[in-house]
């Protein structure tokens, strides 16, 4: 359960530095990186941070220190972004809700039906387009030090869904502060959106204020929403990512070796993170099905999915300049098309 709870947020924060040079040792200056997240201090993530901080201390003779504020001690993600801008924090571990406030272009990743699976994510987002995202964050004054899966989100319902008309009647949660997400939900067919904070969603399901929600599988369990939904549309809707961002101006003041090692250190954690989250997602879905979650039958689900996909396509152009530049979405779509052609997929 601890791993699932940690997986709810998956704001896996890491920062690291390398071996100090002789000149840097003589400098003697200490660098303290204060990072905040709403992730609780528990389970595998806390263990990871202890190992990370030990490694960091050894490599820098304790000249670069990381202080982590867990469990929303510094507020929600909007608060974290604000405190970074004020210089009270140097970094934040956030979902796209917070990342999008720093770099709106990053929201392109969560467009509905943009990606089909993790192979596409690895090829497009984590490889080919990663330099572009790095540059976009830097232009906004932050380094994207690392980012990780929070999983593919699915739609879940309290009541049976037989056709698209039923979709239109669902009282679907719309997470407060995420305008792109809300517009996407409205566009794909949910006419009754109920804006709620994530923390309010469980009560909304319990009271019937909402009859539908959206989440990755492990978040559904960790937030206990699974106890109040019975049906799932077995189609990945959109991919989401969490990331660690650190103030660019702060990092640029660090010695070059520390700065380089900051990024290098992250690379060794990302593969393990990715494998763990994806394994957790698969195992949780299997467990949910065994415990009674019901997939909407394919003969009913496919017409709904087809209609949603058709409605979603215009969003890709609609959000140009509002959130992301045209070259970014074009680059993603062209890279996807190339990849799918090579793999023989659609």
What are the tens digits of pLDDT across the range 246-300?
Answer: 999 999 998 988 888 788 777 777 787 788 888 888 999 999 999 999 999 999 9
Question: Which of 237, 230, 208, 238 lies closest to 157, judged by CA?
Answer: 230
**Both structure tokens of 21:** 């040079």
59 and 21 in one domain? yes
**Both structure tokens of 340:** 């799918």
259 and 134 in one domain? yes
Q: How many domains does the chain have?
A: 2
Confidence (pTM)? 0.86
Question: Which of 211, 239, 268 lies closest to 113, judged by CA?
Answer: 239
137 and 171 in one domain? no
Angle between helices 326-343 and 130-139 (to 10 degrees): 170
Q: What confidence score (pLDDT) does residue 57 get? A: 72
C-alpha angle with apex 239: 317 to 268, nearest 5 degrees? 125
Question: Which of 177, 174, 121 lies closest to 149, judged by CA?
Answer: 121
80 and 39 in one domain? yes
Given the structure tokens 């999983």, which residue do they identify?
Answer: 151
Mean pLDDT computed over 134-151: 92
Question: Is residue 97 within 8 Å of 219, Cβ to Cβ?
Answer: no
Q: Which residues pair with 79 in a beta bridge?
A: none
Quote the DSSP letter at residue 299: H
**Both structure tokens of 242:** 């969490």
213 and 70 in one domain? no
CB atoms within 10 A of CB 145: 24
What are the tens digits of pLDDT across the range 198-223?
Answer: 889 999 999 999 999 999 998 898 88
Question: Which of 206, 212, 199, 207 lies closest to 173, judged by CA?
Answer: 212
CB atoms within 10 A of CB 325: 14
255 and 180 in one domain? no
174 and 86 in one domain? no
Given the structure tokens 């990053």, which residue do they identify?
Answer: 106
Given the structure tokens 């099905």, which residue do they identify?
Answer: 289
In terms of residue numbers, what domain contains 229? 154-237+292-343
225 and 258 in one domain? no
Q: What confidence score (pLDDT) does residue 50 get? A: 65
Question: Is residue 261 within 8 Å of 17, Cβ to Cβ?
Answer: yes
Question: Which of 201, 186, 115, 126 lies closest to 156, judged by CA?
Answer: 201
What are the tens digits of pLDDT across the range 169-199?
Answer: 999 999 988 889 999 999 999 999 999 988 8
315 and 224 in one domain? yes
How far apart CA 212 and CA 220 sit, in angstroms, is 12
**Both structure tokens of 297:** 């039958």
How far apart CA 35 and CA 184 sit, in angstroms, is 31
202 and 177 in one domain? yes
How far apart CA 324 and CA 326 sit, in angstroms, is 7
- Per-residue pLDDT band for 8 (boundaries 50, 70, 90) equals very low
Quote the DSSP letter at residue 19: P
CATH number at residue 314: 3.40.190.170
138 and 255 in one domain? yes
**Both structure tokens of 116:** 């089909």
Burial per residue of 264-289, b for 16 or more beta-carbon CB atoms within 10 angstroms, e otherwise: ebbeebbeebbebbeebbeebbeebe
How far apart CA 221 and CA 205 sit, in angstroms, is 14
Q: Which residues pair with 183 in a beta bridge?
A: none
C-alpha angle with apex 308: 155 to 241, nearest 5 degrees? 50
Given the structure tokens 């996909």, which residue do they identify?
Answer: 309
How far apart CA 167 and CA 237 sit, in angstroms, is 14
Q: What confidence score (pLDDT) does residue 17 get? A: 35
Q: Report the range of poorest mean pLDDT among 27-36, 91-100, 106-115, 207-216.
A: 27-36
159 and 146 in one domain? no
Mean pLDDT computed over 142-168: 94
Question: Which of 92, 95, 122 lies closest to 110, judged by CA?
Answer: 95
């Amino acid at each position: 359960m601890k791993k699932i709870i940690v997986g709810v947020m998956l704001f896996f924060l890491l920062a690291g530095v390398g071996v100090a040079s002789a000149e840097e040792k003589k400098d003697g200056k200490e660098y303290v990186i204060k990072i905040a997240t709403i992730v609780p201090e528990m389970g595998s993530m806390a263990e990871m941070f202890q190992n990370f901080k030990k490694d960091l201390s050894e490599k820098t003779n304790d000249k670069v220190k990381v202080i982590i504020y867990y469990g929303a001690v510094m507020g929600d993600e909007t608060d974290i972004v604000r405190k970074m801008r004020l210089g009270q924090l140097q970094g934040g571990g956030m979902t796209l809700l917070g990342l999008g406030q720093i770099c709106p272009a990053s929201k392109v990743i969560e467009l509905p039906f943009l990606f089909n699976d993790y192979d596409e994510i690895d090829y497009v987002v984590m490889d080919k387009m990663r330099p572009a995202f790095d540059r976009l964050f830097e232009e906004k004054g932050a380094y994207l030090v690392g980012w990780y899966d929070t999983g593919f989100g699915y739609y879940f319902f309290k009541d049976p869904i037989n056709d698209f008309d039923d979709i239109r009647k669902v009282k679907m949660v719309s997470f407060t502060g995420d305008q792109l997400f809300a517009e996407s939900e409205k566009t794909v067919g949910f006419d009754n959106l109920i804006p709620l904070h994530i923390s309010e969603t469980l009560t909304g399901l319990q009271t019937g204020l909402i009859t539908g929600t959206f989440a990755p599988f492990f978040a559904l369990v960790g937030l206990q929403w699974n106890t109040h939904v019975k049906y799932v549309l077995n189609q990945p809707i959109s991919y989401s990512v969490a990331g660690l961002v650190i103030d660019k101006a702060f990092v640029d003041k660090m010695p070059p070796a520390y700065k380089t090692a900051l990024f290098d250190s992250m690379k060794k954690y990302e593969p393990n993170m990715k494998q763990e989250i994806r394994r957790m997602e698969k195992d949780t879905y299997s467990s949910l099905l065994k415990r009674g979650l019901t997939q909407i039958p394919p003969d009913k689900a496919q017409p709904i999915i087809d209609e949603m996909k058709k409605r979603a396509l215009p969003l890709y152009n609609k959000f140009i300049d509002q959130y992301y530049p045209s070259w970014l979405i074009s680059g993603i779509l062209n890279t996807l098309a190339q990849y799918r052609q090579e793999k023989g997929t659609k």
